[in-house]
Amino acid sequence: MVLAMGYGDEGLRLSAFKYRSAELNRAIFEILAIKGPLTAYQVYKHIRKRKEFEGKYYSVVNRRIRELREQGYLKKAGETRTKAGFQASLYELTAKAYLALLLKNINFETLLERINEKTALALIAELVKMKGMSVF
């Protein structure tokens, strides 16, 4: 799956891409989207290769991964044995994470131009189910 990783202001401002953790979350998402399931330490090693994250501590990356998992953006994909002989969890992106990446970059005007009636109705039905959502 190829993802456009531009982060302009066209899309939604989702909680995963706000506040101080936004850039680190984006980097974690990008690494897992490209590399596939990795341990927290493997993600950390990839993060540290980026100039803007050279001084980032493992504990910060590990905490971000745990929080993203609690929020439903990451899931445990299995376990692997580390060099030290311990079992480490492998993490991968959930469908929610891929959707968040797509929504972050989507231009809703273009979406409305391309969407068909059946898909529009299905989207309306889901949005109306949400608490407090109405067309009026």
Minimum mean pLDDT range among 7-11, 74-78, 95-99, 107-111? 7-11
Q: Give the helix ranges, DSSP H, for the chain.
A: 22-35, 40-48, 58-70, 95-105, 108-114, 117-129
Q: How far apart are CA 31 and CA 103, in angstroms?
A: 18
pTM to 2 decimal places: 0.73
- Sequence-separated (6 or more) residues with CB below 8 Å from residue 87: 79, 80, 81
Q: What's the mean pLDDT when you consider all of the chain? A: 85
CB 59 within 8 A of CB 40: no
The residue with greater pLDDT, 127 or 76, is: 76
The residue with greater pLDDT, 14 or 70, is: 70
- The average pLDDT across 48-76 equals 94
| pLDDT the model gives residue 12 | 61
For residue 94, CA distances in Å to 32, 43, 77 come to 10, 16, 10
Q: How far apart are CA 38 and CA 78, in angstroms?
A: 10
| pLDDT the model gives residue 106 | 78
